[in-house]
Structure 1
Amino acid sequence: MLADLRFGLNLTRLEDRLAWIGKCRRAEDLGYDVITVPDHLGMPSPFPACLLTAEVTTHVQVGTFVSNTAFYPPALFARDVVSTQAFTGGRLETGLGAGWKKRDFDEAGVLFESADRRVDRLEMTLQELDRARTTAVTAGQPDPVGPLMVGGNGDRVLRLAAGHAAIVSFAGTRFDPAGRGMIYQTAERLDERVALVDAAVSAAQRERPEYNVIVLRTQVVDDRQTALEEYAAFLGGSFTPRQVGELPAVLIGSPEKMADQVLARRERFGITYVTVQEAALEAFAKVISLLR
Structure 2
Amino acid sequence: MVGFRFGVNMVSPGPRAGWVDKARRAEVLGYDVFAVPDHLGMPAPFPTLLLAAEATERIRLGTFVLNTPFYNPTLLARDVAALDQFSGGRVELGLGAGYVKDEFDAAGIPFPTAGARIDHVEQTVLTLRKLYADPEYQPAPARPEGPPILIAGSGNRLLRMAAQHADVIGLPGAAAPKSGPLSAASADEVAERAEYVRGLLGERRDRVELNLLVWAVATPAERDTVGERVRQSLPGFTDDQIGAAPAVMVGTPQQLADSVRECRERYGITYFTVLEHDLERFAPVIELLK
Alignment TM-score, normalising by the size of structure 2: 0.89
2:65 aligns to what? 66
1:81 aligns to what? 80
Residue 177 of structure 1 and its aligned partner are, at CA, apart by 5.3
Unaligned residue ranges in structure 1 (runs of 5+): none
Residue 134 of structure 1 and its aligned partner are, at CA, apart by 2.8
Is the alpha carbon distance of 1:230 and 1:28 closer, same or farther for their aligned partners in structure 2, counting shifts above 3 Å? closer
The CA distance in 2 between the partners of 1:51 and 1:62, in whole Å, is 9
Is the alpha carbon distance of 1:58 and 1:106 closer, same or farther for their aligned partners in structure 2, counting shifts above 3 Å? same
Aligned partners of 1:201 and 1:208 also within 8 Å: no
1:262 aligns to what? 260
The CA distance in 2 between the partners of 1:148 and 1:176, in whole Å, is 26
The CA distance in 1 between the partners of 2:2 and 2:274, in whole Å, is 19
Identity over aligned pairs, percent: 42
Is the alpha carbon distance of 1:233 and 1:37 closer, same or farther for their aligned partners in structure 2, counting shifts above 3 Å? closer
Residue 219 of structure 1 and its aligned partner are, at CA, apart by 1.0
The CA distance in 2 between the partners of 1:236 and 1:177, in whole Å, is 13
The CA distance in 2 between the partners of 1:53 and 1:191, in whole Å, is 34
Is the alpha carbon distance of 1:20 and 1:90 closer, same or farther for their aligned partners in structure 2, counting shifts above 3 Å? same
TM alignment of 1:158-177, pairs within 5 A: 158-176=159-177
Residue 239 of structure 1 and its aligned partner are, at CA, apart by 6.1
1:113 aligns to what? 112
Residue 173 of structure 1 and its aligned partner are, at CA, apart by 1.3
2:190 aligns to what? 190
The CA distance in 1 between the partners of 2:54 and 2:27, in whole Å, is 13
Alignment TM-score, normalising by the size of structure 1: 0.89
Aligned partners of 2:171 and 2:210 also within 8 Å: yes
1:7-56 Cα offsets, whole Å, 9 max, x none, are: 10101111100000001111111111110000000011111111111110
The CA distance in 1 between the partners of 2:228 and 2:159, in whole Å, is 33
Aligned partners of 2:216 and 2:230 also within 8 Å: no
The CA distance in 1 between the partners of 2:83 and 2:227, in whole Å, is 45
2:251 aligns to what? 253
RMSD: 2.8
TM alignment of 1:84-233, pairs within 5 A: 84-136=83-135, 142-176=143-177, 180-202=180-202, 207-222=206-221
The CA distance in 2 between the partners of 1:58 and 1:253, in whole Å, is 32
The CA distance in 2 between the partners of 1:117 and 1:86, in whole Å, is 31
The CA distance in 1 between the partners of 2:121 and 2:228, in whole Å, is 38
Residue 3 of structure 1 and its aligned partner are, at CA, apart by 6.1
Aligned partners of 2:183 and 2:236 also within 8 Å: no
Residue 174 of structure 1 and its aligned partner are, at CA, apart by 2.8
Amino acid paired to 1:118 = R
Is the alpha carbon distance of 1:259 and 1:80 closer, same or farther for their aligned partners in structure 2, counting shifts above 3 Å? same
1:273 aligns to what? 271
Residue 137 of structure 1 and its aligned partner are, at CA, apart by 10
Is the alpha carbon distance of 1:33 and 1:229 closer, same or farther for their aligned partners in structure 2, counting shifts above 3 Å? closer
Amino acid paired to 1:256 = Q
The CA distance in 2 between the partners of 1:228 and 1:35, in whole Å, is 24
The CA distance in 2 between the partners of 1:49 and 1:261, in whole Å, is 32
1:83-130 Cα offsets, whole Å, 9 max, x none, are: 111111100000001001112111111111211111111111111122
Is the alpha carbon distance of 1:254 and 1:227 closer, same or farther for their aligned partners in structure 2, counting shifts above 3 Å? farther
Unaligned residue ranges in structure 2 (runs of 5+): none
Residue 269 of structure 1 and its aligned partner are, at CA, apart by 0.6
- 4+ long deviations beyond 6 Å: 227-237
Is the alpha carbon distance of 1:261 and 1:130 closer, same or farther for their aligned partners in structure 2, counting shifts above 3 Å? same
Residue 214 of structure 1 and its aligned partner are, at CA, apart by 0.8
